[in-house]
Amino acid sequence: MEHSLENHLLVSHETCGYQNRSDASDANSVDSAFSLDSVTSPNGCLNTTMSSGDTLSHTVLFDELKRVKEDLKQKDDEVRRASELRENVDKEIQDLTASLFESAHLMVEDAKRAQSNTEQKL
């Protein structure tokens, strides 16, 4: 039943002229695709002038949509923060790696110099 409901919603979504958005992570596209201004009923789609039962169920749906959009915005913020954190960690790893190689190079030079000095003394 869930699959048929999903198909019905998809068909209704396309019939009502909503655009199929591939950038669903963009909260602005979600806002523009599902705004109250876009709710019309020339072909049987959602309308603000419905019976009280329909209005209630659509109000519940819009409340759920609002909650989902807020969750999406929070997830986008979390992903952005995680990405920034990863970039910072990657940069720190690169800096530490460069510092480690520089220190190792200096240690090798010091060892060669010490060996050369020892050989000259002999």
Q: Give 47's contacts (C-beta < 8 A, 6+ positions apart).
A: 39, 40, 41
What is the per-residue pLDDT for 115?
A: 95
CA dist list (Å): 56 to 13, 19, 22: 20, 25, 30
Residues with Cβ within 8 Å of 38's Cβ and at least 6 positions away in sequence, in order, are 18, 32
- Specify whether the CB–CB gap between 19 and 33 falls below 8 A: yes
Q: pLDDT band for position 1 (50/70/90)?
A: very low
What are the structure tokens assigned to 25, written together? 């992570």
| Predicted confidence (pLDDT) at residue 114 exceeds the cutoff of 70 | yes
The verdict on pTM exceeding 0.85 is: no
